[in-house]
Every structure is written in structure tokens, then in C-alpha cells.
Structure 1
Amino acid sequence: MDKKALRKSLLQARQSIAPEIWQAKSSQLCDHLRSSALFTQAQTVLAYFSIRQEPDLSLLFPASKTWGFPRCVGKRLTWHVWSPDGSLALQAGAYGIPEPCPDSPILEPDQVDLMLVPAIACDTGGYRLGYGGGFYDRLLASPVWAEKITIGIVFDSAYLSIVPEDAWDQPLTAVCTEKGLFFSEQRL
């Protein structure tokens, strides 16, 4: 199956999950992240605001961390500090995704310990199927981001043995689902 067909099929399946099951799976996934040394040792974590029934990471946000969220600026992502206390405002971004306002403090790569990466699917090799814009692949191909610890976030039904991959796709360090945290075969 090609990326476009797989993306459509997996998005339909994810969006058909009943809200109470979606929240329970999201909670289990957050529990696995919370108990991971990758998360507990990180001081600055990049995350995302859930759309289209992506796993909801909001249960993690009270953790005493510095949180960074992306803004789409042209064809790239910039990362800004966001605080769960509401002191830094959000706005709807170019794709309708909540993002920090442009005047929010910027996070530079050397400040970041961990990146939680949204995906439609991930595979055991650490490759992800995203929404098709290439934002994360371009970011992770950059030398200043390439060595960052990255965890793909998907429900277990979207953790596949293999996803179609292109030459520009960048593997992740690990994948987290409601069933656990799995290190990528690329990183073993």
C-alpha cells in the first residue's frame, strides 16, 4: 500500500475510536512515557497539541519540564516555550493546529532533550508516516537536530512492522504506544 492510501486508512481508523477508548489509550501511553528514563531525565521536551484524535499528551504537561511546541513558519518548524499555566497564549496555526504565538520565547536545538513526534503510523525501524508535509523529516535531517532523542507517538494499531519509506525519511529513536515504549531497530 502506498503512503497516501495507508495514511487515509489509518486516519479513518483512528478517528473512529470512541472518545472514552481514545482517552484511556492516551492515558496508558502517557503512563509509559512518564515511567521512561528518556522522559524523566529530560528537562526540555518538545511536544504537540493533539488533532484528529492523535494520542493526547496533555496528561504529561503538568510535569515539571520546560515544554516546547511547534509553529509552522513557511515549510519549517520553529519551537517556542509554552506553559500549561496559561501564561503564554496560543493561536490557530496555518493548518488549524494550536501553536504558540510568534512572540513566545524560542527554543534552540541545544536546549532540547527530548522530542515527542506526532505520527499517523510508525514502524519497528523507527520510520514514521506523517501527514505528508515533510516538516519533521526536514527538521530531523538538519545536523543540529539529527542526534536528538525522538519518540514517535501512535496507538498500537498504528505501530506496524513496516511503513513505506522514502530516501528523505528520518528514523526516530523509539516509538511509544499504549502498550509500551519500543526502541527502534535503527538505534539498537
Structure 2
Amino acid sequence: MNPDSTGSTKAKLRQLYRERRLQHLPAAEAGMQAAALALAEHRQDEQRLGLYWPLKGEADLRQLAEHPCLRDHLALPRVAGGHLRYRQWQPGAALSPDDTGIPAPEHGPDLEASALGLLLAPALAFDQRGFRLGYGGGWFDRLRSDPQWQAIPALTVLPAACLVAELPREPWDVPFAGWLDEQGIHWLQAV
């Protein structure tokens, strides 16, 4: 498949799965939140959980900040200067739009990969090989192309209706370890 047709195909898939996710999210979100809380309850380390600030159509997992074992162990991404990095986050902390316009921690140092134990990333679609269809910015792929960040387990977050057998992929796409949906956590391989 040539790059032009792959880009065209991905654009069509993004539109299709954005609509599908929006349609299925109201029925799936409570289950996704419960799965994320169950994941939090099994944490036994001091590393941070990398969340995301939810956009329209994405599951809102910010209530994880209310869980006692996570209250001081959360991080949000901030895109600045062409790079996605994570910063510590607590509800009420100052946020400002990052370079993509998404609210992100305004202050504090960028965290090293070793400070995070798990990343949760929104997705439009996800396939059985571990590849995520995102919005096309490539932020997570660039971050996770670094071996230190690739070593951090990462799950996509999306309704089960957005799972597919196979998505088109680019040579730079970095697979995820699994996904979180309304039915629970699904690891592609034991972690």
C-alpha cells in the first residue's frame, strides 16, 4: 500500500471511528471508568499513572484522582516544542493549553520515563496486533519510539465497538500492550 492511499484510508477510518466512538461512549463510559478504577486498586508501586485530558468523545478517567492510592501519583501529557512529555498532575493544579490546545499541567518539570508505571491513551480504534488509530499527530508514537518510554506498559482507552482485526500501519507506529474498554483490561501479552 503506498503512503498516499494509507493516509487516505486512515482519514476515512478516523471519521468512521470518531462517529462510532461517540455513538457507543455513553453506554460504555461507566464500564471503562470501573475498569480503570479496578486497575488503580491493583497498583502496588509508587510510579505515576499517565492519564489524558478528555476531549469530546473520549472516556473521562479524571475521577481516578479521587482514589487514595493515586491521588499523588498521576501525570498528564503536555505537548510543547514538538514533543509530548508528562508532568505531575493533581486536580486543582494550574493548567494551560499546550501546543495542541489541550489543557495540560502548566508548571513542574517534565517527568522521566522511569517515573511512570503505566500510560493510558485515548484511541479512535485499536487492532489485535496492538496498533492504535489516533488523531494523526503522532505524539504517542514519537514519545514511545524512545526505548525508555516504550518499556512503559501502555493501554489504549476506547469502547469495545472500536476494536478491529487490523488497522493500516506505518513503519513508525509503536504497538501498545493492550486496551481498556467497558469489559475490562485486555493485555495482548502477559505483563
What TM-score bracket applies, with the shorter chain setting the length? 0.7 to 0.9
2:36/2:61 contact within 8 Å kept = no
Aligned-residue CA RMSD (Å): 2.1
Runs of 4+ in 1 over 6 A off after TM superposition: none
Q: Which residue of 1 aligns with 2:160?
A: 156
Residues in 2 aligned to 1:39 and 1:172: alpha-carbon distance in whole angstroms: 20
Say yes or no: does 1:168 pair with 2:168.
no
Q: Out of 63, 86, 94, which is 1:89 matched to? A: 94
| Matched length | 180
SS in 1 for 2:18: helix
TM-score normalized by structure 2?
0.85
Q: Give the Å deviation of 1:92.
A: 2.1
TM-score normalized by structure 1?
0.86
SS in 1 for 2:66: coil
Q: Which residue of 1 aligns with 2:103?
A: 98
Say yes or no: does 1:127 pair with 2:131.
yes
Q: Give the Å deviation of 1:35.
A: 2.1
Amino acid of the residue matched to residue 5 of structure 1? K
Residues in 2 aligned to 1:13 and 1:38: alpha-carbon distance in whole angstroms: 30
Change (3 A) 1:130 1:42: farther
Q: Give the Å deviation of 1:74.
A: 2.6
Q: Give the Å deviation of 1:51.
A: 0.3
Amino acid of the residue matched to residue 170 of structure 1? V
Say yes or no: does 1:142 pair with 2:146.
yes
Q: Identity over the aligned pairs, expressed in percent? A: 29
Change (3 A) 1:39 1:96: farther
1:42/1:114 contact within 8 Å kept = no
Mind listing any 5+ residue stretches in structure 2 that lack a counterpart? 1-7
SS in 1 for 2:52: coil
Residues in 1 aligned to 2:41 and 2:125: alpha-carbon distance in whole angstroms: 21
